[in-house]
Amino acid sequence: MQAATLVSTPTLTQRLLDKHRHDAEDALQQVALAVLQQEGIRSDSVLRVQRIAALAPSVACVVTLAEWLAYVDWEGLDSALYANIAAVAALITGELQLPDVAANLLQARDADVFEAQRPALATAALLFIEGHIALFP
């Protein structure tokens, strides 16, 4: 008898990372959106922030960061610096291990420096997702 070969089907997150690998921030946004959809967390939910915080800590980190980066795009860095910045900076420092990026946000608040650091931030987030892939859809 021949042994059955087990073929692992890639998860949704793995497929999203593969598909959007050329654009790390887009991949991050797509993974965050998949989490929100899987968990039924809608943008009009009054409990949105609490529901995101209740996710596994690694997943909540990714969703929080993705939402903050989207906020930067919508409202600009100046406004985003007042939207949950302490939590975002803590995630960037602790989970993503990019203390220089977090320090820039909290101290210098320099948009040009942030934009220069943004690709590294998105890449670090993807590496973080890959390191915790089992927690994602």
Evaluate whether 86 touches 23 at the Cβ level (below 8 Å): no
Rounded to the nearest integer, the mean pLDDT of the chain is 89
**Distance between CA 16 and CA 34 in Å, rounded?**
9
Residue-level pLDDT at 47 = 85
pLDDT, tens only, 5-30: 555 788 999 999 889 888 999 999 99
Residue-level pLDDT at 6 = 58
Residue-level pLDDT at 132 = 94
- Using a 10 angstrom Cβ sphere, with 0-12 exposed, 13-18 middle and 19 or more buried, the burial of residue 124 is buried
Residue 37 identity: Q
Please enumerate, as own/partner, the contacts of 16-24 that have beta carbons within 8 Å and a separation of 24 or more: 17/126, 17/129, 17/130, 24/119, 24/122, 24/123, 24/125, 24/126
pLDDT, tens only, 46-56: 788 889 989 99
Evaluate whether 65 touches 92 at the Cβ level (below 8 Å): yes
pLDDT, tens only, 88-120: 999 999 999 999 999 988 988 888 999 999 999
Residue-level pLDDT at 4 = 54
Task: Tell if the pTM clears 0.85, that is, is over it.
Answer: yes
Query: What is the mean predicted confidence (pLDDT) over 69-78?
Result: 93
- Using a 10 angstrom Cβ sphere, with 0-12 exposed, 13-18 middle and 19 or more buried, the burial of residue 62 is buried
